[in-house]
Amino acid sequence: MSALTFTHIGGPTALLEVDGWRLLTDPTFDAPGRTYGFGWGTSSRKTTGPALSVEEVGAVDAVLLSHDHHADNLDDAGRAMLADVPTVLTTVPGARRLGAPAQGLRPWEATTLTHPDRPTLTVTATPGRHGPVGARAVIGAVTGFALTWEGQEHGAVWVTGDTTLTSEVRHLADKLSVGTVVVHLGGVRFPTTGPIRFTMTVADGRDLCRAVRPSTVLPVHHEGWSHFLDSAAALERPELAPDGGTTVWADPGSPVTVEV
């Protein structure tokens, strides 16, 4: 049986360690206090710095990047660290913008990570939409990632990436058995765009988990930025997993271990 060590670093950034592999999601390592523009009159201030520095995280085998064009998923320090990462997996347009070694994956396209002393990891891109219907044309592409390997007992480890609760996302379990989900929340909203949400709320996350039925839920992307408007609900650390499952609201910088 494999065990996943999960370290939430802040915002969407987490270190996933399993069977010798070290994978980092959405690197954000800038100091707090700066306001970043996201286009179309939207912006957000980073309110909390990372629990670990790039140096404290150390070498990683791959970065799983939901998307490259918003600073709450890839800020300046995070972008700089990519030069030292052998594999960066992201969206197809994101890979074009970043250049080598970034590799773009379309929804349900898969690639493998291999090492002579570790199990082969299959990384499959999963669909997402960063806002309402039609948002992709304006906001750009995003992706999630499903990790599978031989000997896994509880189903895939799925990182949702920044997405709303679309029909494709809700019905992902029709194509993939999920054991652990790293779910991006935050209920992102901006004054200039009114009530429109650009990521899932805590309530959406609970609905998703009822549909997908993972055994373990690891929430991220719910603190550290001013546009995470669902942070108050997240602070209550509610249970998101269905009956029999476990929700782990990991304290930033403190590793937790779950069976996968």
- Give the residue among 62, 57, 56 at the shortest CA–CA distance from 23: 62
Residues 6+ apart with CB under 8 A from 73: 11, 12, 26, 28, 65, 66, 67, 162
CATH code for the domain of 203: 3.60.15.10
DSSP assignment of 158-172 equals EE--S----HHHHTG
Counting the structural domains of the chain, the total is 1
Amino acid at 249: W
pLDDT of residue 59: 98
Q: Residue 213 has which token pair? A: 């039925």
Give the whole-angstrom CA distance, residue 159 versus residue 180.
9
Give the whole-angstrom CA distance, residue 28 versus residue 181.
20
Q: What is the pLDDT of residues 24-67, one digit of tens each?
A: 999 999 999 999 998 878 899 999 999 999 999 999 999 999 99
**By three-state DSSP, how is residue 77 classified?**
helix
Calculate mean pLDDT across residues 240-250: 95
Give the whole-angstrom CA distance, residue 136 versus residue 145.
18
CB-based contact 206:183 (threshold 8 Å):
no
Q: What is the pLDDT of residues 174-232, one digit of tens each?
A: 999 999 999 999 999 998 888 999 999 999 999 999 999 999 999 999 999 999 999 88
Q: What is the pLDDT of residues 170-183, one digit of tens each?
A: 999 999 999 999 99
pLDDT of residue 205: 97
254 pLDDT band, cuts 50/70/90, is very high
More confident call, 135 vs 68: 68
Domain extent, residue 161, equals 3-259
pLDDT > 80? residue 95: yes
Q: What is the pLDDT of residues 122-152, one digit of tens each?
A: 999 999 999 999 878 889 999 999 999 998 9
239 pLDDT band, cuts 50/70/90, is very high
